[in-house]
Structure 1
Amino acid sequence: MKFVFFFIYVPFVYSELHNFTTTYTEMNGQMVAEIPEISSVTVLDGQPIDFYDAEIKKLIPRQDWMKEFASGGRFKEYTEFRERLQRTNEISIHVLMERFNQTHGVHTYQRMYGCDWDDETGDSHGFDEHAYDGKNFISLDMKELRYIAYVPQGLPTTTKWNNNKTQLEFVNQYYRHDCVGWIHRLLTLRKTNLETKGILEVSLLQMDRSSPVLCHATGFYPSAVTITWLRNGQNYDEDVDLRETLPNEDGTFQKTSTLTVPPDEWEKDQFVCVVEHMGRTIRKILTECKMKNSAEWCFYGCVFYS
């Protein structure tokens, strides 16, 4: 497994498999002035939910629902638990430099730990991976409950950790039980917040008269949504492309269905996009809309979007 120096958010496709991962990064010197030498990012289902800056010793929420969580008493418990786990199996980068006979240069130690949980089957999997300068260094074998060294320089550390039965019991409890417990709590917080604040919005968009018409639904939660087209009141799917559901940065979702028909057809026939979500139905009728210029999108209802 390869590590990268910094976490970059990548959109994910919502599924029943949930992931809760913290990536800890330590550098022996700042490559960029704005980047702390020690930091960590926690990600839930592909979205960063908090960032820990060791220099200011503060856990910073990254999602609105996490900010609300931060105002409550359990956030202190969450922070203390994170800090305790962070200190478990932490390796000094200066010790690693000595083992690799390095006296200068910029070097990076990273640890990626957490768990996956399938809420359909109940199966879970914990992991604890360590890397040095982007290469595998040590990992935890959950089946055998022992640490494995990928290189000779890691053997002194794995021998020490594997002989510490108290520490092994703690990590076993966390990766098999506590980690999934935090997934449950955080998913509940996110679900409650998004169901309360999520607002379904539907728009019909077209770049020009000859391009496909996009029926775009966004701001909804949970992810299950139905988008269909009607032609003169009848279901129509011959020239329709239903695209995958994608996440928004705030945890809500978006989905698009495109209709590709010649202008003369949607001028003589009535086309309607129907979006259904959680018992609510929104209908958008495709009608004539004049554009200011050809470089703009047409937002049906004669509101222009560029």
Structure 2
Amino acid sequence: HYDSNTMKAEPKQDWMEKITDPQYWMEETDSSVRAHLAFKDNFEIIKPRFNQTGVVHTFQRMYGCEWNDETGEVKGYDQYGYDGEDFISMDSKTESWVAAKQQAVISKHKWDNNKFDNLYRKIYYQQNCPEWI
């Protein structure tokens, strides 16, 4: 769990605290702070594309991986939503982004050009993520 007020990642369950190294939580905090700042920046960039200001909006990210027990296939996913609707998602096979809305096309082009980040995500979802399953 990352608390944006304290800017710290911390376990919400006792068992997590017992099985994870304290170094994990320091690294998770660093990663979460970077993600938090990037999320705020992305939200401020996206909001005007919908011609909206001043009211409450939701910008969400869901990511992870699925592992097929029978085939051993691992499928990663990384998707963003805006106000409860799909906005943009990663196609990990092609290492490219898919815009679900016209307002996401600019982000798609920008994010598609970040080859290092897209390759990192692909490796994360195929190798690192399954270790947590």
Same fold (TM over 0.5): yes
Q: Tell me: CA distance 1:84–1:178, structure 2 relative to 1, closer, same or farther (3 Å).
A: farther
Q: In the TM superposition, what whole-angstrom CA distance separates every residue of 1:249-294 from its partner, at most 9, and x where no partner exists?
A: xxxxxxxxxxxxxxxxxxxxxxxxxxxxxxxxxxxxxxxxxxxxxx
**Equivalent residue, structure 1, for 2:123:** 173
For residues 113 and 126 of structure 2, the distance between their equivalents in structure 1, rounded to whole angstroms, comes to 20
Identity %: 36
Q: Tell me: CA distance 1:143–1:71, structure 2 relative to 1, closer, same or farther (3 Å).
A: closer
Q: How does 1:28-107 map to 2 (within 5 A)?
A: 51-70=1-20, 72-77=22-27, 79=28, 82-83=31-32, 86=35, 90=39, 92-107=42-57
The count of aligned residue pairs is: 132
Quote the RMSD (CA, aligned, Å). 2.5
For residues 73 and 140 of structure 1, the distance between their equivalents in structure 2, rounded to whole angstroms, comes to 30
Q: Which has the higher contact order (CA 8 A, sep 6+)?
A: 2
For residues 99 and 174 of structure 1, the distance between their equivalents in structure 2, rounded to whole angstroms, comes to 30
The 3-state SS of whatever aligns with 1:102 is: coil
The answer to whether residue 102 in structure 2 is matched with residue 152 in structure 1 is yes
Q: Is the 8 A contact 1:61 1:70 kept in 2?
A: no
What TM-score does the superposition give when structure 1 sets the normalisation length?
0.39
Q: Which has more strand, going by share of residues?
A: 1
The answer to whether residue 90 in structure 2 is matched with residue 140 in structure 1 is yes
User: What stretches of structure 1 move > 4 A for 4+ residues in a row?
Assistant: none
Q: How does 1:1-306 map to 2 (within 5 A)?
A: 51-70=1-20, 72-77=22-27, 79=28, 82-83=31-32, 86=35, 90=39, 92-181=42-131, 183=132
Q: Is the 8 A contact 1:130 1:136 kept in 2?
A: yes
Q: In the TM superposition, what whole-angstrom CA distance separates every residue of 1:130-174 from its partner, at most 9, and x where no partner exists?
A: 000000100111222210101111011010010111111111111
The 3-state SS of whatever aligns with 2:17 is: helix
What TM-score does the superposition give when structure 2 sets the normalisation length?
0.84
For residues 175 and 81 of structure 1, the distance between their equivalents in structure 2, rounded to whole angstroms, comes to 20
Structure 1 unmatched runs, 5+: 1-50, 185-306
Q: Tell me: CA distance 1:130–1:65, structure 2 relative to 1, closer, same or farther (3 Å).
A: same
Q: Tell me: CA distance 1:55–1:76, structure 2 relative to 1, closer, same or farther (3 Å).
A: same
Q: What amino acid sits opposite 1:112 in the alignment? A: M
Q: CA deviation at 1:84?
A: 7.6
Q: CA deviation at 1:123?
A: 1.9
Q: Is the 8 A contact 1:69 1:75 kept in 2?
A: no
Q: Tell me: CA distance 1:53–1:75, structure 2 relative to 1, closer, same or farther (3 Å).
A: closer
Q: CA deviation at 1:124?
A: 1.2
Q: CA deviation at 1:122?
A: 2.2
Structure 2 unmatched runs, 5+: none
**Structure having the higher Rg:** 1
Q: In the TM superposition, what whole-angstrom CA distance separates every residue of 1:58-84 from its partner, at most 9, and x where no partner exists?
A: 11212221021355434434x157438
